[in-house]
């Protein structure tokens, strides 16, 4: 999570959406940069609302912070998690995806009680608005990097040059039509939110 005080902007770090590269490029420009622990670095809207928003309002007297986030196409997002958990050092660990196909990974993700290797959260839940009105005010598709960079350049008065960071290993992944249909049926909120951007 990055906080830009004068610009009244908070950048939430949705996992697997390129926010590590943004954090590396903008950490020196940010007034607050939270890199650890992961529970705070990747604070979703509900955690921001519960802990950070009250601090900004009560301690600092600022009530109108804009929230920015990035969302990745749902199948591509799961593909990034699958590849990330397939790194060599993950072999033999409970969260490894070495012994499952991508179809099996996505089917497991669709279950309510997932095994560890497919328990990667939810972009829709991460970005879910709160009853008090706290919500993401600037949501971008990961695939539209030029729009993300243009927004940040304009808002922060910077000229971003993004390094690649925390990149999952390259591999050819394809999801069967049948499993994609199951994914869209079981987790429609992921696709609906992405398509609404």
pLDDT tens sequence across 52-62: 999 888 877 77
59-126-52 Cα angle (round to 5) = 5
* pLDDT for the residue 157: 95
- Residues 4-18: what's their mean pLDDT? 94
* pLDDT for the residue 172: 78
Q: Which is higher by pLDDT, 58 or 125?
A: 125
In the chain, where the domains are located: 2-196
- Residues 64-89: what's their mean pLDDT? 95
pLDDT tens sequence across 171-194: 879 999 999 999 999 999 999 999
* pLDDT for the residue 64: 82
> What is the CATH number assigned to the segment(s) 2-196?
3.40.50
pLDDT of residue 43 exceeding 90, the answer is yes
pLDDT of residue 103 exceeding 70, the answer is yes
- Determine what percent of the chain is predicted with pLDDT higher than 90: 80
| Cβ atoms < 10 Å from Cβ of 32 | 13
pLDDT of residue 71 exceeding 60, the answer is yes
Tell me if 12 sits within 8 A of 43, measured CB to CB: yes
The whole-angstrom separation of Cα 42 and Cα 95 is: 19
pLDDT of residue 165 exceeding 90, the answer is no
* pLDDT for the residue 163: 64
The whole-angstrom separation of Cα 31 and Cα 70 is: 20
pLDDT of residue 29 exceeding 80, the answer is yes
Tell me if 43 sits within 8 A of 34, measured CB to CB: yes
* pLDDT for the residue 38: 86
- The C-alpha torsion from 178 through 143 and 41 to 156, rounded to 10°, is -160
* pLDDT for the residue 167: 61
* Long-range contact set of residues 186-191: C-beta below 8 Å, sequence gap at least 24: 186/110, 187/74, 187/109, 187/110, 187/122, 187/124, 189/122, 189/124, 190/74, 190/122, 190/123, 190/124, 191/74
State the pairing for strand pair 32-33/2-4. Answer: antiparallel
pLDDT, the chain, mean? 92
The confidence band for 170, taking pLDDT boundaries of 50, 70 and 90, is: confident
pLDDT of residue 159 exceeding 80, the answer is yes
């Amino acid at each position: 999570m990055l906080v830009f005080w004068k610009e009244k902007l908070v950048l939430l770090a949705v996992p697997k959406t390129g926010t590590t590269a943004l954090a590396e490029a903008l950490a020196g420009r940010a007034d607050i940069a939270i890199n650890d622990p992961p529970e705070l670095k990747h604070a979703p809207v509900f955690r921001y609302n519960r802990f950070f928003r009250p601090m900004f309002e009560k301690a600092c007297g600022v009530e109108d912070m804009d929230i920015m986030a990035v969302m990745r196409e749902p199948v591509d997002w799961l593909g990034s998690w699958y590849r990330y958990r397939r790194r060599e050092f993950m072999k033999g660990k409970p969260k490894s995806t070495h012994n499952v196909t991508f179809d099996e990974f996505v089917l497991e993700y669709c279950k309510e009680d997932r095994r560890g290797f497919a328990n990667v959260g939810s972009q829709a839940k991460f970005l879910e608005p709160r009853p008090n009105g706290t919500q993401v005010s600037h949501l971008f598709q990961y695939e539209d990097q030029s729009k993300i960079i243009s927004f940040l350049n304009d808002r922060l008065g910077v000229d971003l040059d993004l390094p690649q960071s925390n990149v999952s290993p390259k591999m050819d992944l394809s999801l069967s039509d049948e499993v994609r249909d199951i994914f869209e049926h079981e987790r429609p909120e992921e696709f609906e939110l992405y398509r609404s951007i």
